[in-house]
Structure 1
Amino acid sequence: MYSIFARSGWWRLAAYHGRIAFLPLLLTGCAVYHPQPLRDHLPAMAKVERQMAVALRHDHPASAQPVNLHAPLSGEDLGEIAVLLNPSLRAMRAQIGVARAQVFAAGLLPDPQLALSADLPSNVAAGYTNAYSMGLSWSLASLFTRAANLHIARAQEQSVQYQVAWQEWMVANQTRILARQLYYLQKQEAVSQTAATTTDQLYRISVQNLRLGDATITTTSLRQIAWLDSQDRLLALRRQVTAVRQDIHKVMGLPPNMPLSLRAPRILRDIPDAARLVTLADAHRLDLLALRAGYRAQEARVRRAILGQYPGFSIGITRAADTSNIQTIGPGVHLDIPLWNRNRGVIAESEATRAQLHAAYTARLFQTRADITALVADLRRLRQEIAPLEQQVPQLQSAEQRLRGAAAEHNVTLIDYEAVRSQSLAKSLQLLALKQAYAEQQAALEMAVGLPWQQWRKQR
């Protein structure tokens, strides 16, 4: 093939007209492939601790002291660290780069098209030459939709940014809820541990007295039952504590054996009005903002689809020579005739998608308002249940301590003491469980509103 083109003088002809001399220059701006292999190893414990320290110093830049990760941390601290270390969020943040690249691609102009062809006579006769044709064309169809494409890409980039931010907000608050749950479960575990220690001591004393003949089988059996109940309760709480701690490590992307110490959560005593919180959620929830940006992108897609029903065309210029060496040059136009298709399928699909997004946004808005209303109602109900127990449980605990000494001196029957002790323990655990539910619901309400509760009063 090279010899045919050499004999025909094709390359000399092309170089003479200068049509392809610029092609090597274009190659200088091309991207170069660089491999990026996957890594199948997890970060070491020391690296994770350094990342957590950086996260906390970033949150408190005024503090020059090193952060002690083994000191008690708040749920807010753990939530911020989870946003930085969670593997799923790291993968989601890469979508922002893809969306930005799509904006860049949407703004690019189409490349011109160069067409080259040759007609080489197999039996060259006198007076005949090699024919050729060269054409340079440029499609103008994309120019009419470039503005719509840019609007789509920019709105989609906003939607992706809001979606990633919403997922970060969800992970941070999920970590806060788990931290509050773990804190109060550990409190219940400590109370159950104290009760189990007490019942174990009483049971051992009763067994010794039974051997000496100073106790009855009924008394010993009652204390044995109380000891078994306390052990069952303690083991059940330990299982819950272990499960919640593993969930926290999973959400935060931490090694399972990394210790964490928690501070007491901040509890919101006054409960705001649900209608005001709904208004704040409508304006600040990131998932609603993401849906609005996605809807704007779909509106632009509908406009682009409607523009696609009009004829698209390309313009160009062609230079040619036939075998008689008659050379011609002239413009050319390529026109798409919208006869049957007229982009009706794309228009119908884009309009149906817009209707679906509108319905999805309406459903999310309705669900948001319902969730906030239900959470506010639950918090008020929990507050009513917590108030009397906060007054009565300390009195029951004090009575249980006095009766314990009286029972040791045989001034109170064991049945009376066990009744008070079991009820005091049950009410203490019930109060801690209600406080746990209240703390979790408060964090869930902040998550549903889309704003921390400290900013609720600042927003108008």
Structure 2
Amino acid sequence: MKLVFACITLFALAGCASYHSEPLGLEPTLQTRVPRLDVSKIPLPELARHIFDPSDGLDMTEVAMLAVVNNPDLKLARDDAGIAHAQAFAAGLLPDPQLNLTGDFPSPSIAGLIPAFNRGLSFDFTSLITHAATHEAATASAQKTDLALLWQEWQVVAQARQLFVRIATQRRLAAVLQQALTWQTTRYQAAQAAMTAGNLTLGAVTPYLVAQQDIQRQLAELGRQQNQSRHNLNALLGLAPQVHLDLVGSTRIAPLNLKALRRATRDLAKRRPDLLALAAGYQSQEAKVRAAILAQFPSLNIGFTRARDTAGVYTTGFSVSISLPIFNRNRGNIAVERATRQR
């Protein structure tokens, strides 16, 4: 008996996880330089085929690649996906059986009496009834999280490209305005010289000054917008505000094929990740409703026992524990899951 108990204890301890502390990071998470990327780990194949080399500047695709890998919101979404998959793994595990050991010792000690014991092994069979539905719900929930993550990755790629185009456009507009300011300053100086020579009045020179100041105002406003756009791009890429990005390359995107676009929109609901995520979420909730209905059946715990009394008589038996569905019957959880499914 002692040997069996020791073997069971050692077997149980061998399968236990050990604790390792994970200190809370207090340092800023925004990076102060453009990181190197492992292209093979980029989740989107159309981006993974592109070469990432920040030494010669970042083109539009490289900015999108960096956004997918380093965006803070996507990192949190991937952590949520990891939690969902861990929950699906946990839902697929069966509960452990229960081993019961008791001992009784005669007190005071009487001749002819020996210590008594009772040992039993039992299992909760109720968990088997709801196991399939619970596992299906958790698996569908993990699938929903993965699809939502994919849709969020698409959105981040689109935002990165949009900011790249906006910054490039603002840069070109700034060059045009600077050229216009140089030209208008020359005109104003010429008009001012003519006024000094007595060839123009103050009223005739004033419009040149107003035009020059208007261009200066536009340049100042554009500078503010450029600064805001660069800060937004850095935040999207998970970089510190002071990091300067050398954006290079064209802003042109291949035109859409209208025929291919029309064909693609016919079965859009079967391919868009956000719509598929909604379907997976409904499937998960449907399984939760089924699990709640199955859980209304009485809980059943069956075990086998082996005992010895103080007279040395051995007995073998069984135990059955069943709940009586009189008051609760899991009606509250069923109502909650059905209302959640309706939403």
The amino acid of 1:333's aligned partner reads V
In 2, distance between residues paired with 1:69 and 1:116?
69
C-alpha offsets along residues 61-96 of structure 1, whole Å, 9 cap, x if unaligned? 586xx735544612x432222011112212221222
- Name the structure 2 match of 1:331: 318
Alignment of 1:48-197 (within 5 A): 48-51=34-37, 59=47, 61=49, 67-71=53-57, 73-74=59-60, 76-197=61-182
In 2, distance between residues paired with 1:112 and 1:68?
57
In 2, distance between residues paired with 1:61 and 1:169?
16
Which SS does the other structure have where 2:113 is aligned? coil
Structure 1: give runs of 5+ residues left out of the alignment. 1-13, 357-460
Distance 1:174 1:57, change over 3 A: closer
User: How many angstroms does 1:303 deviate by?
Assistant: 0.8
- Kept after mapping to 2: 8 A contact 1:49/1:69: no
- Name the structure 2 match of 1:341: 328
The amino acid of 1:328's aligned partner reads T
Larger relative contact order (CA 8 Å, sep ≥ 6): 2
Distance 1:43 1:218, change over 3 A: closer
User: How many angstroms does 1:103 deviate by?
Assistant: 2.4
Structure richer in helix, relative to its length? 1
The amino acid of 1:83's aligned partner reads V
- Kept after mapping to 2: 8 A contact 1:82/1:252: yes
Which SS does the other structure have where 2:117 is aligned? strand
* Aligned counterpart for 2:19 among listed residues 33, 44, 56: 33
- Give the structure with higher Rg (CA): 1
- Kept after mapping to 2: 8 A contact 1:70/1:259: no
The amino acid of 2:282's aligned partner reads Y
- Name the structure 1 match of 2:10: 24
- Kept after mapping to 2: 8 A contact 1:53/1:67: no
The amino acid of 1:126's aligned partner reads A
- Name the structure 2 match of 1:401: none
- Name the structure 1 match of 2:303: 316
**Paired residues, number:** 338
C-alpha offsets along residues 116-161 of structure 1, whole Å, 9 cap, x if unaligned? 2222232222333322221111111111122112211211111111
User: How many angstroms does 1:278 deviate by?
Assistant: 5.2
In 2, distance between residues paired with 1:313 and 1:303?
19
Which SS does the other structure have where 1:50 is aligned? coil
In 1, distance between residues paired with 2:6 and 2:35?
58
TM-score, normalised to structure 1, is 0.67
Which SS does the other structure have where 1:22 is aligned? helix
In 1, distance between residues paired with 2:50 and 2:147?
29
In 1, distance between residues paired with 2:227 and 2:50?
35
User: How many angstroms does 1:53 deviate by?
Assistant: 8.1
- Kept after mapping to 2: 8 A contact 1:129/1:324: yes
- Name the structure 2 match of 1:281: 268
TM-score, normalised to structure 2, is 0.88
User: How many angstroms does 1:20 deviate by?
Assistant: 4.7
The alignment yields a C-alpha RMSD, in angstroms, of: 2.9
Which SS does the other structure have where 2:320 is aligned? strand
- Kept after mapping to 2: 8 A contact 1:86/1:251: yes
User: How many angstroms does 1:348 deviate by?
Assistant: 0.7
- Name the structure 2 match of 1:298: 285
In 1, distance between residues paired with 2:284 and 2:39?
39
* Percentage of pairs with the same residue: 35
- Name the structure 1 match of 2:235: 250
In 2, distance between residues paired with 1:313 and 1:203?
95
